[in-house]
Protein backbone atom coordinates (compact mmCIF):
# COMPACT_ATOMS: atom_id res chain seq x y z
CA UNK A 1 0.00 0.00 0.00
CA UNK A 2 1.37 3.43 -0.95
CA UNK A 3 3.50 5.19 1.62
CA UNK A 4 1.22 8.24 2.06
CA UNK A 5 -1.70 6.12 3.27
CA UNK A 6 0.59 4.28 5.71
CA UNK A 7 1.94 7.60 7.02
CA UNK A 8 -1.59 8.97 7.50
CA UNK A 9 -2.59 5.82 9.36
CA UNK A 10 0.50 6.01 11.56
CA UNK A 11 -0.33 9.64 12.48
CA UNK A 12 -4.02 8.81 13.01
CA UNK A 13 -3.14 6.01 15.43
CA UNK A 14 -1.36 8.51 17.69
CA UNK A 15 -4.48 10.67 18.02
CA UNK A 16 -6.99 10.28 20.86
CA UNK A 17 -10.36 8.59 20.29
CA UNK A 18 -12.76 10.82 18.36
CA UNK A 19 -10.08 13.10 16.90
CA UNK A 20 -11.24 14.53 13.58
CA UNK A 21 -8.95 13.92 10.62
CA UNK A 22 -8.97 15.84 7.34
CA UNK A 23 -6.74 15.98 4.25
CA UNK A 24 -5.44 19.46 5.20
CA UNK A 25 -3.39 18.02 8.04
CA UNK A 26 -1.43 15.72 5.73
CA UNK A 27 -0.46 18.00 2.85
CA UNK A 28 3.17 17.81 4.00
CA UNK A 29 3.12 14.16 2.82
CA UNK A 30 2.22 14.86 -0.80
CA UNK A 31 -0.08 16.73 -3.19
CA UNK A 32 -3.74 17.26 -2.32
CA UNK A 33 -4.72 14.64 -4.92
CA UNK A 34 -2.31 12.06 -3.51
CA UNK A 35 -3.53 12.71 0.06
CA UNK A 36 -7.20 12.50 -1.03
CA UNK A 37 -6.48 9.18 -2.78
CA UNK A 38 -4.71 7.81 0.30
CA UNK A 39 -7.63 8.81 2.56
CA UNK A 40 -10.08 7.21 0.13
CA UNK A 41 -8.05 3.99 0.28
CA UNK A 42 -8.05 4.03 4.09
CA UNK A 43 -11.82 4.59 4.06
CA UNK A 44 -12.27 1.56 1.74
CA UNK A 45 -10.18 -0.52 4.14
CA UNK A 46 -12.37 0.67 7.05
CA UNK A 47 -9.36 2.30 8.72
CA UNK A 48 -11.18 5.67 8.59
CA UNK A 49 -14.91 6.46 8.99
CA UNK A 50 -16.35 9.48 7.18
CA UNK A 51 -18.47 11.72 9.42
CA UNK A 52 -19.25 14.51 6.95
CA UNK A 53 -17.66 15.88 3.80
CA UNK A 54 -13.90 15.98 4.19
CA UNK A 55 -13.89 14.88 7.85
CA UNK A 56 -13.06 11.42 9.18
CA UNK A 57 -12.51 9.62 12.46
CA UNK A 58 -10.68 6.40 13.21
CA UNK A 59 -12.86 3.48 14.32
CA UNK A 60 -11.97 1.99 17.70
CA UNK A 61 -10.71 -1.58 17.59
CA UNK A 62 -11.53 -3.67 20.65
CA UNK A 63 -11.24 -7.38 21.33
CA UNK A 64 -14.97 -7.59 20.62
CA UNK A 65 -14.60 -6.03 17.18
CA UNK A 66 -14.65 -2.56 15.71
CA UNK A 67 -16.89 0.26 16.94
CA UNK A 68 -17.40 3.93 16.16
CA UNK A 69 -15.71 6.34 18.57
CA UNK A 70 -17.88 7.72 21.41
CA UNK A 71 -20.08 10.59 20.11
CA UNK A 72 -19.02 13.01 22.88
CA UNK A 73 -15.36 12.43 21.94
CA UNK A 74 -16.09 13.10 18.25
CA UNK A 75 -18.00 16.25 19.20
CA UNK A 76 -14.97 17.40 21.25
CA UNK A 77 -12.80 16.66 18.20
CA UNK A 78 -15.07 18.72 15.92
CA UNK A 79 -15.06 21.63 18.41
CA UNK A 80 -11.26 21.54 18.54
CA UNK A 81 -10.69 21.44 14.78
CA UNK A 82 -13.40 23.88 13.71
CA UNK A 83 -12.96 26.42 16.54
CA UNK A 84 -16.65 26.34 17.44
CA UNK A 85 -18.39 26.02 20.80
CA UNK A 86 -20.38 22.79 21.10
CA UNK A 87 -22.42 21.89 24.17
CA UNK A 88 -24.97 19.26 25.19
CA UNK A 89 -28.61 19.96 24.31
CA UNK A 90 -30.98 21.14 27.07
CA UNK A 91 -32.62 17.72 27.42
CA UNK A 92 -29.24 16.10 28.15
CA UNK A 93 -28.33 18.96 30.52
CA UNK A 94 -31.64 18.54 32.41
CA UNK A 95 -30.98 14.82 32.68
CA UNK A 96 -27.43 15.25 34.01
CA UNK A 97 -28.64 17.81 36.58
CA UNK A 98 -31.34 15.40 37.78
CA UNK A 99 -34.25 17.59 36.59
CA UNK A 100 -35.67 14.84 34.40
CA UNK A 101 -35.30 11.08 34.18
CA UNK A 102 -36.00 11.17 30.44
CA UNK A 103 -32.99 10.06 28.48
CA UNK A 104 -32.80 11.84 25.11
CA UNK A 105 -33.16 9.28 22.30
CA UNK A 106 -31.53 11.45 19.68
CA UNK A 107 -28.08 12.85 20.26
CA UNK A 108 -28.40 16.60 19.78
CA UNK A 109 -25.69 19.14 20.54
CA UNK A 110 -25.86 22.93 20.28
CA UNK A 111 -23.17 24.69 18.30
CA UNK A 112 -21.91 28.16 17.40
CA UNK A 113 -21.17 26.69 13.93
CA UNK A 114 -23.56 25.55 11.22
CA UNK A 115 -26.33 23.00 11.68
CA UNK A 116 -25.39 19.54 10.42
CA UNK A 117 -26.06 15.86 11.01
CA UNK A 118 -23.65 12.95 10.82
CA UNK A 119 -23.66 9.25 11.50
CA UNK A 120 -21.39 7.27 13.80
CA UNK A 121 -22.17 3.67 13.07
CA UNK A 122 -25.91 3.35 13.74
CA UNK A 123 -26.04 6.50 15.88
CA UNK A 124 -27.22 9.78 14.33
CA UNK A 125 -25.71 12.93 15.86
CA UNK A 126 -27.16 16.35 15.18
CA UNK A 127 -25.35 19.64 15.68
CA UNK A 128 -27.84 22.52 15.85
CA UNK A 129 -26.82 26.14 15.49
CA UNK A 130 -27.83 28.00 18.66
CA UNK A 131 -27.81 31.64 19.82
CA UNK A 132 -24.87 32.73 21.95
CA UNK A 133 -26.78 32.74 25.27
CA UNK A 134 -27.49 29.02 24.96
CA UNK A 135 -23.74 28.36 24.70
CA UNK A 136 -22.74 30.36 27.79
CA UNK A 137 -20.62 29.46 29.78
CA UNK A 138 -19.89 26.35 27.82
CA UNK A 139 -18.39 23.91 30.32
CA UNK A 140 -19.85 24.83 33.65
CA UNK A 141 -22.83 23.72 35.69
CA UNK A 142 -24.30 27.25 35.35
CA UNK A 143 -24.26 26.88 31.56
CA UNK A 144 -25.85 23.45 31.87
CA UNK A 145 -28.54 24.94 34.10
CA UNK A 146 -29.33 27.63 31.49
CA UNK A 147 -29.73 24.99 28.75
CA UNK A 148 -31.82 22.79 31.04
CA UNK A 149 -34.14 25.72 31.90
CA UNK A 150 -34.53 26.57 28.22
CA UNK A 151 -35.61 22.98 27.53
CA UNK A 152 -37.91 22.82 30.60
CA UNK A 153 -39.62 26.07 29.63
CA UNK A 154 -41.09 29.09 31.37
CA UNK A 155 -44.01 27.29 33.06
CA UNK A 156 -41.83 24.87 35.04
CA UNK A 157 -38.74 27.08 35.43
CA UNK A 158 -39.39 28.15 39.05
CA UNK A 159 -39.87 24.54 40.16
CA UNK A 160 -36.64 23.48 38.40
CA UNK A 161 -34.72 26.42 39.91
CA UNK A 162 -35.93 25.50 43.40
CA UNK A 163 -34.50 22.00 42.86
CA UNK A 164 -31.22 23.42 41.51
CA UNK A 165 -30.92 25.76 44.51
CA UNK A 166 -30.88 22.71 46.77
CA UNK A 167 -28.51 20.68 44.59
CA UNK A 168 -25.92 23.07 43.19
CA UNK A 169 -23.04 24.66 45.10
CA UNK A 170 -23.47 28.29 46.13
CA UNK A 171 -20.73 29.37 43.68
CA UNK A 172 -22.72 27.92 40.74
CA UNK A 173 -25.92 29.65 41.90
CA UNK A 174 -23.99 32.95 42.05
CA UNK A 175 -22.69 32.32 38.52
CA UNK A 176 -26.23 31.63 37.29
CA UNK A 177 -27.50 34.86 38.88
CA UNK A 178 -24.64 36.77 37.21
CA UNK A 179 -25.68 35.44 33.78
CA UNK A 180 -29.12 37.12 33.91
CA UNK A 181 -28.31 40.07 31.57
CA UNK A 182 -27.45 37.62 28.76
CA UNK A 183 -30.61 35.52 29.12
CA UNK A 184 -34.18 35.83 27.75
CA UNK A 185 -36.52 37.95 29.90
CA UNK A 186 -38.61 35.10 31.32
CA UNK A 187 -35.54 33.14 32.41
CA UNK A 188 -33.83 36.14 33.94
CA UNK A 189 -37.04 36.99 35.87
CA UNK A 190 -37.45 33.42 37.09
CA UNK A 191 -33.83 33.33 38.31
CA UNK A 192 -34.33 36.66 40.14
CA UNK A 193 -37.55 35.51 41.80
CA UNK A 194 -36.28 32.07 42.83
CA UNK A 195 -32.57 32.46 43.52
CA UNK A 196 -31.95 36.05 44.61
CA UNK A 197 -32.45 36.57 48.36
CA UNK A 198 -35.18 39.18 48.94
CA UNK A 199 -35.50 41.61 51.78
Residues 189 and 135 in one domain: yes
Residues 113 and 53 occupy one common structural domain: no
pTM of the model: 0.86
User: What domain range is 25 assigned to?
Assistant: 3-67
Q: How confident is the model at residue 156 (pLDDT cuts 50, 70, 90)?
A: very high
Residue range 99-142, pLDDT digits in tens = 998 877 789 999 999 999 999 988 899 999 999 999 988 778 99
pLDDT at res. 199: 58
The Cα–Cα gap between 114 and 109 comes to: 12
**Cβ–Cβ under 8 Å, residues 61 and 69:** no
Q: Is 22 in contact with 81 (CB distance < 8 Å)?
A: yes
Asked whether 150 and 187 are in contact (CB, 8 A), the reply is yes
Tell me, yes or no, whether 43 and 100 share the same domain.
no
Of 58, 66, 4, 61, nearest to 29 (Cα)?
Answer: 4
Total domains in the fold of the chain = 2
Distance, CA of 189 to CA of 199 (rounded, Å):
17
Amino acid sequence: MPAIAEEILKEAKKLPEGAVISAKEFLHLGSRDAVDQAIKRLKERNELMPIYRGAYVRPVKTRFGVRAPAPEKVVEGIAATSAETIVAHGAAAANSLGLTTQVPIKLIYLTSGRTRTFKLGAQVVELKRAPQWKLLPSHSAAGEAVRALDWIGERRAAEALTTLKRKLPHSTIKELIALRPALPGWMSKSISQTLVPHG
